[in-house]
Structure 1
Amino acid sequence: MSTVDLPTPIVVTRHQCPHCQRYTRARRDRVEQHMPRCWQNPAARACKTCVNYEPADQEGPYPEHPGWPEGCGHEDGPDELKQPITDCPHWELHPRLAARD
């Protein structure tokens, strides 16, 4: 009689951020540490949940133009975002997120 070596399926538990749904970890405490600073969490007052957030535009005004980076539409906000900002003083909840509550 011969034996066949086959992979054995296993079940694992992963924990996922309920805001971005991209951050998953095996340890729950790692996700709990991520959640307060998650850019998709309205409680973090970050750019991606703000009414002033302007997403990147891949197409510029003409073919040679590289497009526009993410930005802030607030008059006192940064023109270009190197990375999203949390606890922004200009933050206002985006209306699409207010409908969720």
Structure 2
Amino acid sequence: MTALPVILQVVRYRCPFCTRSRAKKTVTEQHIARCWHNPEVRSCKTCVHYEPAEEGPYPEHPGWPESCGAEHDITAGIATGCPQWEAK
């Protein structure tokens, strides 16, 4: 008798704003409430002032880190709930 593969179906819940997925619906709902790509969170990633990181023009150049055009310091991390946030 030959062993056959068993079909296993798994339910996952994915954030509608990014690619993250989780096995638990409540954990995914918590993520959505703080997802940087969710415009309701008012994070840097959805703001018109956000300037993404850029690679340098040649390998020896370190490039430029992500920054804020409204002069907020985001070197410590992406901000949420910014009073100067404007939708992209």
Q: Same fold, TM exceeding 0.5?
A: yes
Q: Does 1:83 align with 2:77?
A: yes
Which amino acid in 2 is paired with 1:68?
W
Structure 2: runs of 5+ lacking an equivalent: none
Distance, in Å, in 2 between the alignment partners of 1:63 and 1:17 is: 35
Percent pairwise identity: 50
Residues 19-66 of structure 1 deviation map (CA, whole Å, 9 limit, x = unaligned) = 11x110111000000011100000000000000000000124x55220
The 5 A counterparts of 1:85-100 are 85-94=79-88
Which amino acid in 1 is paired with 2:6?
T
- For 2:21, which of 21, 24, 29 is the aligned residue? 24
Tell me which stretches of 4 or more aligned residues in structure 1 moved more than 4 Å: none
Q: Does 1:34 align with 2:31?
A: yes
Which amino acid in 1 is paired with 2:29?
E
TM-score relative to the length of structure 2? 0.89
TM-score relative to the length of structure 1? 0.78
SS at match of 2:33: helix
- The Cα of 1:6 is off from its aligned counterpart by 3.1
Which structure would you say has the larger Rg? 1
RMSD: 1.5
Structure 1: runs of 5+ lacking an equivalent: 95-101
